[in-house]
Every structure is written in structure tokens, then in C-alpha cells.
Structure 1
Amino acid sequence: RVHDAAQPTPILGDAAAAATALQIRQHFGEPPVSVMTRVGCCLRNLAVDQWLGQLVDQQRVETAVVIGVGLDTRRQRLVDLDIALVEIDSPAVIDLRDRWIPADGAVRVTGDGLHIDAWRHAIDASGTGKVAIILEGVLAYQQPENVTRFFSDLARFLPGAYLLFDSPSPIAARSANRPQPGRSERPAYTWAPWSTRRLGGPAGRLTILDEKGFMDFPSALTACFRRRDRVLHSLPPLRRSYRMTLAQVPGGIRA
């Protein structure tokens, strides 16, 4: 987002992210990041921004829970979005957020966001059952059984909630997990479903409301990808090998 904000025609134009650039460089350095990863993260942010805005405009969501919030600046980026926000991450990350990023009314919770008991109290305090759960760059690093348990818990405690998340297919995970020179180290993808259509738990499957791959965005936003990547990700088997998904948890009033 910092790099994107400095471009003549940015995807997000996230001035709040750019404002934290110095602290981030001093704390983390500047590990090498591929164009595909850098632009892909901004496209993922954009998809979630758009879906969340639509849900709020349609009065279907009043509270958003961001699990694994990291250094996200959505509250500052979408200043006109009228929504209660709950931000969840490890104590170390929440400490950095408290130092670098204004809360602007967001409730910040430390703990494992995949355990609903860690943050249910914040939802109860908001007084609304219209909830969206956002997980960007989170589920792919979890063990499959933990993701299944999480979906089951959502169906029990927040039926009808909206779920905004990203996931790689096994093909994309295999490629991403392969060691490559110059690629910054990161944990391996461990959760990589072939399809999102069968996700869920004992209470039923998630209802998929919308889904996007990188090549589903306007070509102007993906022009900086290498031609090879654009061609590969346009092929039917690979078009959504990495996808962003808007879904609804079983139960409650359907969208």
C-alpha cells in the first residue's frame, strides 16, 4: 500500500499507509516483494473495500471484525464508511497499531481471532447482529481442521454473518510454497481448497455471494503484472486459482 500510494495512478491511494512508511522501514526493513504480491495485496484490499461498502450501503452490516488486522488502514482509507470496527491480532501487532495507527473508534482486541471466544464480547458490546468477518491473508496459513472448526463456530454463534476472505487453490499454493531466489521468506500455505463452494461445517455450507480472481479486475489495474502472469491467470483453470470471496455463514436471514 505504501508503494501503491506513490504511484501516479494508484489502486488504493492509501495516504494513511504512506504516512507509516518511515516507521515500517525502520522496524521491518524492506524485504524483497514481487510485483505480483505487492499489486495482488492492493487488489485484495480493493475487493474487500468494495464489498464492505456495498454491505454497509445496503444496511446488511453494521460491525466489521478484522481478524489478523496487521497494519491495515481501512478505517483511515474509507473515512466515510459508517461502521463499528473490531480489530484483532497478536499483542505485538496491536502494540504497533496503538503506536502508529490511530484507532479512530475501533475496538482493538489481542488474541487468536480464529477462536471466537477471544472477541465475542466486542460484538456483544456493539449491540448489532449485522456482522462481517474479514480475514485477509489469514486462512491460507491455518491448518485445515482449524479452518473447519472456525466456520462451524461462526455458524453456531454468528449465523447469517458475512465472511470476506482470500484463498489459494492447491495449484497456487504449490507454486507459492516452492522456494525461489529473491523471494522473501514467509510461512507455507497450508489451507488451499480446490473450491470455495463446499466450505462450511455441520450446520451447512457457506453461501458464496461473489468471488474474484486478479484477472476479474479492470485491465488498467493489472497492467503492471508481467505479460506471462496475465496470460497464465487468464486461463480457465488458473483464473481463480487465487481468489477473493464474499460469502454468508449458514443460518440467519439470507442475502
Structure 2
Amino acid sequence: MTLLNGIPESMLIPLAYRATETNEKSPIIADLHSQKIFKEIDYPFENISNSWPTQVGISVRTYLLDQQVSQFLKQSSKPLIINIGCGLDTRRTRLELNDIPWIDLDVPEVIDIRKQFFSETSTYKMIPESMLDDTWMDDVQKFEFYQHNMEMLIIFEGVLMYFDAQTITQLLNKIVSRLKYQKLTFAIEFCSKLIAKNTHRHKAVSQLESKPQFKYGYNRLAEVMNILPLGLSIETEYNYFDYFTDRWRLFGKCRHIPYLKNRLNNKIVILQHSAPVENKIS
């Protein structure tokens, strides 16, 4: 396998735990495609695959984002899904969304690996670029399925916690500015401040050979407002402790204690930005 350095190496963590979760007696998610990829990747997974809280967290995250995608598609007449920092995500395959316009974006070395397991189609494209490189937004608008009045769901799964607040703000602002004529929904995974300050204690991330570091987290949802560009509003927050509580063991009790709930787990935040009606292109 191509050597992965830094953040790209972290894509192997969710792959391993989705595959492992699928073997559970009552799995939160079933992902046979991840199992297939997992078996074919040459990597010392034993170093990063021995943390049950990480397995539950990734499984709940996968479940929540699957639900968000399904809900988005029910409400959208002209949908486009953009998965930023896609890694070896299998959501499009797992949910059988072959006819839905879908774009997976990641750095070139990741897309090179991804292309060993996924093939582009008329409705599915892969962009081998950094999310911080503006040119990917030009690429999106060149695909045949692209329309100026599409409704977009942009997913950041296991990505933005590796970047500081300023970088996150600048990135979101660029997306909103460049894709302003679409109705945009963002589904973003965040961690807490405590988790962001303790990458070295994370049972999986700390064992990666390239040692990537978390840089941003929040405890109170109001803090996220401070890093959002104008025009973006928070619709919902989903805390992982609120789902499949029996699988969290004693940690499941934290959902009743806001101080612990906000500091000991990750969450998915849904953001909305509506296209300017008076200038919208039809």
C-alpha cells in the first residue's frame, strides 16, 4: 500500500472499525464492503483496532451520517453529495446510491488507493486534491451532472478536528462564497476541547505511525458560532452518547450529565446556508 503520512493515515481507523463492527452480534452498522477492503489492505491494523469506545464512536458516527444522507435525499429534488476527506468511506456503496450525483474528495495519495476499490461512473466522481486547494470547487462545476441550482450536502467526517479554528473558518467561507447559488447543508463531525488536547491519549489515533494531531474542538455548541462565516446557521447537534446507549457501557450514563456529555465525546453538527433567492440561477 502507498505510504500514508499525517492525516491521510487516519482513514484506516474508520475502515478497521466498520469492518470489526460488522462482525458484532447486533451491529450498529453492517458494512461488508469495508470488510472486503480491510482484508486487502496491507497495514498493521492490530496497532489501531483494539479500542471498543473508538469502535462504538465510529459506528454511531456512521449511523448518524447515514441517516442524515437518507433524510437529505428525501427532501431534495436536485441533490449532490460531496464527501470531503473521504478516505475509504463506503457510504455511497452501502446505501446503494448509484444514481445519486456524488463526489469524493481527498488528497492524491488517498484517491490513488481509493481507485483500487471504487470506479467512477456518470454520477460518481473522485477529485484527487486537498480540500484547502480552491481548484476542487472549479472541478465540481465541470462535471456533467452539475447544475447551478442543485441542493448540496457536504460531509466532513473525521476531518476538521485535525485543523485549527482559523483554517476551518476560511475553508467554510470559501465553500459558501464559491457555491453560493446552491442550497448548502453541511454535516460536520467535531470533537470536544478535551479530546482535541489529548490526541496522545486516543487509543487509535495515537498509534498511527505518522502521529497526526487534533487541533480544534468545542464543548458548548455556542462556541461553534464563533468560527462560522456569515450566512451559515446551526440546525442540529447530535451527541454520540445519545445513541445506542447500551453499547457505551458506563459512558452511556454521561448523557445525563451535560458537563461530561459535552467533554467526553464527539458530535455531528448540521449547518445550513440558503442560496440568495434574488440572484439564484435557474
Please tell me whether residue 148 in structure 1 is matched to residue 165 in structure 2. no
Preserved CA contact (<8 Å) 1:73 1:101:
no
Query: What is the correspondence of 1:114-193 to structure 2 with a 5 Å cutoff?
Result: 114-125=132-143, 126-128=145-147, 129-159=150-180, 160-174=183-197, 176-179=198-201, 184-185=207-208, 186-193=211-218
What residue ranges of structure 1 are gaps of 5+ in the alignment? Answer: none
Q: 1:13 to 1:27 in 2, by over 3 A?
A: same
Preserved CA contact (<8 Å) 1:207 1:250:
no
The DSSP-based 3-state class of the residue aligned with 2:57 is helix
Report the Cα offset of residue 48 of structure 1: 1.0
Q: 1:60 to 1:116 in 2, by over 3 A?
A: farther
Alpha-carbon displacement from aligned partner over 1:115-144 (angstroms, at most 9, x marks no partner): 342243224423233111111010000122
Please tell me whether residue 57 in structure 1 is matched to residue 74 in structure 2. yes
The DSSP-based 3-state class of the residue aligned with 1:72 is coil
Farther off after superposition, 109-118 or 44-53: 109-118
Report the Cα offset of residue 233 of structure 1: 4.6
User: Which residue identity is paired with 2:138?
Assistant: R
Farther off after superposition, 65-74 or 122-131: 122-131
Q: 1:161 to 1:28 in 2, by over 3 A?
A: farther
Q: Percent of counterpart pairs with the same letter?
A: 23
TM (norm. structure 2) is 0.78
The DSSP-based 3-state class of the residue aligned with 1:225 is helix
Structure 2 residue corresponding to 1:108, chosen from 123, 126, 129? 126
Please tell me whether residue 249 in structure 1 is matched to residue 273 in structure 2. yes
Report the Cα offset of residue 178 of structure 1: 4.3
The DSSP-based 3-state class of the residue aligned with 2:270 is strand
User: Which residue identity is paired with 2:260?
Assistant: L
Preserved CA contact (<8 Å) 2:169 2:228:
yes
Please tell me whether residue 5 in structure 1 is matched to residue 22 in structure 2. yes
Q: 1:239 to 1:166 in 2, by over 3 A?
A: same
The residue number in structure 1 matching 2:47 is 31
Q: 1:198 to 1:30 in 2, by over 3 A?
A: same
Q: 1:58 to 1:98 in 2, by over 3 A?
A: same
Preserved CA contact (<8 Å) 1:155 1:250:
no
Preserved CA contact (<8 Å) 1:56 1:82:
no
Residues in 1 aligned to 2:73 and 2:202: alpha-carbon distance in whole angstroms: 41
Preserved CA contact (<8 Å) 2:187 2:268:
yes
The residue number in structure 2 matching 1:207 is 233
Report the Cα offset of residue 80 of structure 1: 4.5
TM (norm. structure 1) is 0.85
User: Which residue identity is paired with 1:215?
Assistant: F
Preserved CA contact (<8 Å) 1:115 1:150:
no
What residue ranges of structure 2 are gaps of 5+ in the alignment? Answer: 1-17, 278-282
Q: 1:133 to 1:60 in 2, by over 3 A?
A: farther
Q: 1:179 to 1:169 in 2, by over 3 A?
A: closer
